[in-house]
Amino acid sequence: MDQISDGIVKALQLIFSGDPTVYGIVSRSLLFSGIATILAVLWATPIAMLLSLKNFPGKSIVKGFFTAMIGMPTVALGLFLWLTLSKTGPLGFLGLLYTPGAIILGEALLVTPLIVSIATNAIEAIDPEMMNLARTLGASESQALTAVLKEAINGIIFSNVAGFNRAIAELGVALMVGGNLAGFTDVLTTDISTFNARADFASAIALAIILLLIVFGINIMIIIARNPRVLVTLGRMGQ
C-alpha cells in the first residue's frame, strides 16, 4: 500500500514539476504510437472496405487471418521484426533496428489486424443497400463509398482508438526492436518495465499512472468530441 501511495505522490510530482525526462518519455510514447496508428489506419481502412464491400474467393480466409492476428503476442512480433531488421536480416540495409522507425513500424503492424477487424465489422453493419441508395440518388462510386463510410464513422473511429490504445500500451515490440535507449527509443511501457526491474516501484507506478491517464484522457476527449451532450449530462450530475 505504501508503494502505491508513494507511486501516486511521485506521479503527481513528476507531472506538475515539468520534469523534462518524464515529458520526453511521454512525448515519445505519444509520437511513436500516434504515427504507428496513423500508418496502420492508412493501410487498414482500404483493407476493411475491401473485406466488407466486395466478394472475392478466399475472403473468409483473409478475414479469419486478420481476426486471428489480433491475438499476436507482441514479443513474438518483436522477435520476428528484430530478425528481419537486424544487420543479417532481409531488411537490415534499412538501418531501422533500435531506432524510433522500428518501433513505429512494429506497432503499426501490431495494430493493423485489430483496426481491420473492427472497421470491417463496422462497415458490414451498414445496410448493404446503402451504396445503391447513394448511387440511385446520383452519387459516383467514390461518393457512394464516402456515404457508407460516414454511416460507419463511429465504428471506424472506435477501431482507430482501439488501435492507438493497443499501440501505446504494448511492450514487446518497443523493447525488442527499439532497444529502450534512454532519451531515444525508451517509451512509457519500456521504462515501467525498467524501473520495476530495478525495484524502483514508485517510479514504475508513477509512469503507469501517467500511462493510464493518457489512455483514459484521450478516449474521453474523443467521446466528448463525438457527442458534446455528454458534457451537459456530466454537468447535471455534478450539480
Partner 1 sequence: MTALAELKNLTKCFGSRKALNDVTLQIEEGEILGLLGPNGSGKTTLLKVLAFLERVDAGEVKFQGETVTERNSERMRLQSTMVFQKTLFLGTTVFNNVAYGLKMRKMPRSVIEEEVGNALKLVRLESFKKRSARKLSGGEQQRVALARALVLKTRLLLLDEPTTNLDPKNTSIIEEIITKVNRELKTTIVMATHNMFQAKALPKRVALINDGKITEVGLSSDVFTKLSRNLAAFAAVENTFNGFSRITDAGTSIVDVGGGVQIEATFQKQGEISIFISPQDIILSEKQLKSSARNMLKGRIAEITDLDSLVRLKIDVGKPFTVQITKCSFNEMGLNLNSEVFLTFKASSVHTI
Closer by beta carbon to partner 1, 13 or else 154: 154
Closer by beta carbon to partner 1, 63 or else 135: 135
Question: Measured between alpha carbons, how far is residue 121 from residues 2, 31, 115, 210 in Å?
Answer: 45, 28, 10, 32
Q: How many CB atoms lie within 10 A of CB 5?
A: 11
Shortest Cβ distance from residue 78 to partner 1 (Å)? 41
The contact mask relative to partner 1 for 140-169 (x = CB under 8 A, - = no) is: xx-x---x--xx------------------
- Nearest CA-CA partner of 172 in 110, 95, 214: 110
Shortest Cβ distance from residue 125 to partner 1 (Å)? 12
36-75 positions binding partner 1, by CB under 8 A = none
Shortest Cβ distance from residue 45 to partner 1 (Å)? 19
Closer by beta carbon to partner 1, 130 or else 169: 130
Cα separation, 96 vs 26, whole angstroms: 22
Here the cell at position 172 is 514487446
Cα separation, 41 vs 53, whole angstroms: 17
CA 71 to chain centre: 14
Shortest Cβ distance from residue 130 to partner 1 (Å)? 6
The contact mask relative to partner 1 for 114-143 (x = CB under 8 A, - = no) is: -------------x-xx-xxxxxxxxxx-x
Q: What is the dihedral of CA 153, 155, 159, 161, to 10 degrees?
A: 70
Q: In a 3-state reduction of DSSP, which class is residue 124?
A: helix
Closer by beta carbon to partner 1, 135 or else 194: 135
Residues forming contacts to partner 1 in the complex (CB under 8 A) are 127, 129-130, 132-141, 143, 147, 150-151
